[in-house]
Homo-oligomer: A and B are copies of this chain.
Amino acid sequence: MNDTTNARTGTVTLLSAGPGDLDLLTLKAAKALARAGIVLLDDLVNPEIATLAPQARIIRVGKRGGCRSTPQAFIERLMVRYARKGHDVVRVKGGDALLFGRAGEELAALHRAGVPFEIVNGVSSAFAAAAGLGVSLTHRDHCQGVIFVTAHLRDHSEPDWPALAATRMTLAIYMGMSRIEGLCATLAQTLSRQTPAAVVQWAGSAQERRVMGTLGNIAALAQAAGLGSPAIILVGDAIGEAISLDSFDAHATTLPVLRRA
C-alpha cells in the first residue's frame, strides 16, 4: 500500500478570488481558504490571498504569456494528485471561476478522476469596473443586457464583433487591450463612434485606473494614459451614465481619476 491508497480522497474547491481587493472575496471563499491544505494560485490573483490560508501550502501555477508558465494539463494533474493524497485543495482563479479561465476543462478533469469538487462563486472584474465608474452595466434606458466576451481566442481569431454590436447591448470585453485599436475600429463599423466607452485597468484592486471616452477615441486615450493589461473595456450607451468621474470617488485619495475626454 502506498500513501495514496491509505488516505481518504480530498476535495477540490474551484474558488473565485474576485477582482483583487480581498474584501471582495465571499464569506464562503474565506472559509474555504481558512481550512485549505493546498492552494493553487493563478498569476493574476492578489498574492496576499495567501494570508487567508494560514494552514496551506501555496503553489503558484500562473499561465501568463510565455516563459515559466505551468501547462494546463499539469495543473489538472496537480489538483487530482493532491486530492487523492487526501488534501483539501483550493484552486484559486481570478474574478468568477466560471467566466473564462478554463474552469470547464478543470471540472472535466476532476469529474474523469472521480474527485469531488465544489465551486465558490465570486465577483467578475467587469462588475468591479462598473462599480468604479459608478454605472449600471444595464441601465434600462439603454439596453436589455450585457455581453461578457473575451478578445483572446484559442485559435487567434476574433469574436464576431459585428454580431455582438448588432445586439445593442453593453459590451464588457476581457483580454482586449493588445488589440483595442482594431476591435474598436471594427465595432465602429456597426456602432456610432460617439458610443460611450471606458477602460478600467486592475478593476476592483488598489491599483485601479480608468479612462472614459467614446468608441472613437478610447484606444488613444487608454494608450495616452498608459493603461494596459489586465483591463476591462466597456462599450455601450449605458456606460455614458457613469458618474464617478464627475463626482464622488471612493478611491479619490489614492487613485488617478481620469476625466472624460
Q: Chain A interface (Cβ within 8 Å of chain B)? A: 18-19, 21-28, 30-31, 96, 98-105, 107-108, 111, 116-124, 127-128, 130-131, 134-141, 144-150, 153-154, 159-160, 163-164, 166-169, 204, 238, 241, 243, 247-248, 250
Contact = CB atoms under 8 A, between A and B. Distances in A.
B140 A127 contact: no
Q: How many copies does the complex hold?
A: 2
Contact of A24 (B99, B121, B130, B145): B121
Given A145-B149, A147-B167, A167-B167, A154 B137 contact: no
Kindly name the residue among A22, A100, A134, A243 whose own CB sees the greatest number of chain B CB atoms within 10 A. A134
Contact of A169 (B117, B134, B149): B149
Contact of A104 (B30, B135, B169): B135
Given A104-B135, A121-B127, A137-B99, A23 B31 contact: yes
Contacts of A128: 121
A167 B247 CA distance: 36
Given A98-B137, A123-B123, A147-B169, 15 more contacts: A26-B26, A98-B135, A98-B138, A104-B141, A105-B139, A105-B140, A107-B134, A107-B135, A108-B241, A111-B134, A138-B150, A140-B154, A144-B149, A145-B147, A163-B168
Contacts of A98: 127, 130-131, 135-138
A-B pairs with lowest CB-CB distance, top 10: A145-B149, A104-B139, A104-B136, A23-B28, A119-B131, A103-B136, A121-B123, A121-B127, A98-B130, A144-B159
21 contacts: A18-B121, A19-B121, A23-B28, A24-B26, A26-B26, A27-B30, A100-B138, A100-B140, A102-B136, A104-B135, A104-B140, A104-B241, A105-B139, A107-B241, A108-B241, A119-B134, A120-B131, A137-B148, A144-B150, A147-B167, A149-B169
